[in-house]
């Protein structure tokens, strides 16, 4: 019986084509963007007669799903409440992850995940195995909702008590900016983004906290949450709790340490360079300058909110922010860029070569050579894409290279900061930004999962030869 089944199966010439998990993720994001575009084109999504143009809707939907925040129209006045709700849902779905969102729906309906669903969800969330996908997905849902609800309440209370906004308006402002900040999207419901609240710590700090937590990446947040719960059950001396950091994974240590260092350096650099700039931090008192400098350093790490006029920043500040945007935040989260871990691996490779050592060691562990190749490849691909896009934009416009490079990096790193040139770009330039946002959001995910699932081991090696380097 078994042999006959095998013969019939072999005799069947019909082949079923199955998409690679990375292709499923890309297709999911693309279909979601197209669905969002269709909703935003509807006449009731736009204020005034008629609907938005296809390019306006496509650009906004792509920016929302890819949690970027670049806009070609004023979100606060161009879109109706219906359009703003669509944008909010696209941000939430895009930040959470298309396949992760589909997994939650599947679990809610069928109470289980198929093997293929687990594979695609693992490809998107960068799970270390298929067994932990279900727990990770539910953990992400709980953590996301807890953070977003907390930040929304704080912001709603501030808008209501501090600015006299009606209750309904305050709740809507709190919810929208909470979801936008935790998902590192950078969309705001004010025409000047958050420039009107540059010195209001009750607005800036909760948003900054949500951005930082979202930028850590879900695997890091889940591990930190588990450790805090464990310590709550078994309280220990603070020295013992500090020593438990040694139990963190290498990924968690790199992301937490890198986030702290980059936030401090970014705050110091932006504040120092812009301290006397009359168009940015100059008119503020020293407390306001520190708050605005810190807030902008946080947002440069892929969130996209701005409390100062980005177009008035010094060229040196823009260059420093280019570096911070390109590095980005933690992997498998809502942040963009090449990721802190990629940058850290490149740094440790450089440090090892400078010291004349062979093995690259990080926090007492040796890095696999496959990780070296992945980090170098992702970094070089990112630089190549950004340079190519910037050159194309320079051929289309007379805008300075500083502004165009900033715009290209902001789109690729899904940051959303802009010097104010987005809406003025020709349609070809806006299409380039759309492609940059899509590639920036999905490129690293697709590439990493493709490597992990298609790694092949050669049965032979070619003879070695070494070219002259340097």
| Cβ atoms of residues 28 and 22 within 8 Å | no
CA distance 130 to 186: 32
pLDDT at 16 over 70: no
Mean pLDDT of 121-134: 50
Q: Is 425 helix (H, G, I), strand (E, B) or coil?
A: coil
pLDDT at 275 over 60: yes
pLDDT at 428 over 80: yes
pLDDT at 418 over 50: yes
| Cβ atoms of residues 194 and 188 within 8 Å | yes
CA distance 108 to 135: 14
CA distance 459 to 470: 32
In the block, residue with structure tokens 């770009």: 425
Question: pLDDT: is 443 or 187 the higher one?
Answer: 187
- Residue-wise pLDDT for 310-319, tens only, equals 999 999 999 9
- Residue-wise pLDDT for 96-126, tens only, equals 765 454 444 444 433 454 444 444 455 445 5
- pLDDT bin (cut points 50, 70, 90) of residue 369 is confident
C-alpha count within 13 angstroms, C-beta hemisphere, residue 410: 30
Mean pLDDT check: name the lowest of 29-43, 89-103, 359-373, 404-418: 89-103
For the chain, percent of residues with pLDDT exceeding 90 = 57
- pLDDT bin (cut points 50, 70, 90) of residue 22 is low
In the block, residue with structure tokens 């958050």: 194
Orientation of helix 315-327 relative to helix 286-300, angle to 10°: 40
Closest CA to 123 of 105, 97, 143, 145: 97
- pLDDT bin (cut points 50, 70, 90) of residue 454 is low
CA dist 223 → 248, 253, 268, 338 (Å): 8, 11, 30, 22
CA distance 119 to 98: 13
pLDDT at 124: 47
| Cβ atoms of residues 384 and 355 within 8 Å | no
Mean pLDDT of 360-368: 85
C-alpha count within 13 angstroms, C-beta hemisphere, residue 224: 15
pLDDT at 456: 58
pLDDT at 20: 59
Query: What does the chain come to in residues?
Result: 470
Mean pLDDT check: name the lowest of 46-60, 213-227, 357-371: 213-227
Residue 26 zone, left/alpha/beta (φ > 0; ψ -120 to 50; rest): alpha
CA dist 137 → 29, 73, 102, 104, 252 (Å): 18, 34, 10, 7, 18
pLDDT at 282: 94
The count of other CB atoms within 10 Å of the CB of residue 316 is 14
DSSP track, 383-412:
HHHHHHHHHHHHHH----HHHHHHHHHHHH
DSSP track, 80-143:
-HHHHHHHHHHHHHHHH-HHHHHHHHHHHHHSS--HHHHHHHHHHHT-SSSTTHHHHHHHHHHH
Number of H helices, E strands in the chain: 19, 2
In the block, residue with structure tokens 């939907």: 61
The count of other CB atoms within 10 Å of the CB of residue 369 is 10
At residue 199, φ and ψ (nearest 5 deg) are -110, 10
| Cβ atoms of residues 25 and 445 within 8 Å | yes
| Cβ atoms of residues 309 and 211 within 8 Å | no
pLDDT at 357: 84
């Amino acid at each position: 019986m078994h042999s006959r089944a095998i013969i019939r199966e072999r005799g069947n010439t019909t082949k079923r084509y199955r998409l690679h998990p990375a292709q499923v993720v890309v297709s999911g994001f693309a279909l979601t963007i197209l669905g969002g575009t269709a909703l935003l084109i509807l006449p009731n999504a736009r204020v005034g007669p008629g609907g938005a143009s296809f390019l306006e809707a496509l650009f906004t939907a792509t920016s929302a799903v890819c949690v970027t925040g670049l806009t070609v129209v004023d979100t606060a006045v161009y879109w109706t409440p219906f359009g703003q709700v669509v944008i909010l849902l696209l941000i939430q779905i895009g930040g959470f992850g298309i396949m992760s969102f589909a997994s939650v729906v599947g679990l809610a309906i069928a109470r289980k995940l198929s093997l293929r669903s687990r594979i695609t969800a693992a490809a998107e969330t960068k799970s270390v195995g298929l067994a932990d996908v279900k727990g990770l997905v539910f953990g992400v849902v709980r953590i996301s909702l807890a953070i977003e609800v907390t930040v929304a309440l704080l912001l709603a209370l501030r808008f209501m008590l501090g600015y006299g906004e009606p209750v309904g308006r305050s709740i809507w402002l709190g919810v929208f900016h909470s979801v936008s900040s935790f998902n590192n999207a950078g969309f705001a419901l004010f025409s000047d983004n958050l420039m009107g609240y540059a010195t209001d710590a009750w607005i800036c700090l909760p948003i900054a906290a949500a951005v930082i937590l979202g930028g850590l990446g879900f695997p890091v947040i889940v591990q930190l949450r588990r450790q805090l719960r464990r310590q709550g059950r078994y309280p220990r001396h603070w020295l013992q709790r500090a020593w438990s950091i040694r139990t963190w994974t290498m990924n968690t240590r790199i992301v937490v340490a890198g986030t702290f260092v980059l936030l401090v350096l970014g705050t110091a650099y932006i504040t120092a360079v812009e301290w006397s700039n009359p168009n940015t931090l100059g008119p503020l008192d020293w407390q306001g300058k520190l708050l605005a400098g810190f807030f902008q350093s946080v947002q440069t790490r892929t969130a996209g909110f701005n409390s100062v006029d980005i177009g008035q920043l010094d060229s040196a500040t823009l260059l420093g922010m280019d570096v911070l945007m390109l590095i980005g935040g933690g992997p498998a989260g809502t942040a963009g860029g090449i990721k802190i871990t990629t940058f850290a691996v490149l740094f440790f490779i450089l440090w090892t070569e400078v010291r004349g050592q062979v093995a690259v060691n990080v926090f007492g562990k040796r890095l696999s050579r496959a990780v070296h190749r992945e980090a170098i490849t992702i970094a070089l691909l990112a630089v190549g894409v950004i340079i190519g896009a910037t050159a194309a934009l320079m051929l289309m416009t007379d805008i300075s290279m500083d502004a165009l490079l900033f715009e290209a990096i902001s789109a690729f790193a899904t940051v959303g900061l802009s010097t104010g040139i987005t809406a003025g770009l020709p349609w070809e330039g806006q299409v380039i930004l759309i492609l940059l946002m899509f590639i920036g959001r999905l490129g690293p995910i697709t590439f990493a999962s493709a490597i992990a699932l298609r790694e092949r081991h050669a049965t032979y090696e070619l003879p070695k030869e070494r070219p002259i380097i340097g």
